[in-house]
Amino acid sequence: MLIEIDSNDVNTEVKDIFSIDGKVYSMPVEVPASVALQMLHVARTEGEQSAVSWVMEEVLGSEAYDALRKCRALKPHQLQAVIKVVTETVMGAMEESGKG
């Protein structure tokens, strides 16, 4: 059985995830399963913390990731909430890919 992949079939819809001083940052509503696969690869080769750091920057983008990193008012529960949304979205892509 041949599995056809259309590299142009990418959902570009985004959702707001957090704001800092009124500037809103967003992330994709759907994350490609390839991102989940890469996250697993980074976790296996470099460790779970490296994988989380990599996927945060990959999904949020450098600007949003840097804004979080540099925000001195960021509380642990806020960071945990952002990480949870990102990782659940990424792992959801992996679960969805297994349903086909």
For the question of whether the overall pTM of this predicted structure is more than 0.85, the answer is: no
Mean pLDDT computed over 33-60: 96
Question: How far is Cα 98 from Cα 57, in angstroms, rounded to an integer?
Answer: 25
Q: What is the pLDDT of residues 6-40, one digit of tens each?
A: 778 877 899 999 999 999 999 999 999 999 999 99
Mean pLDDT in the chain?
91
Distance CA 20, CA 37 (A): 30
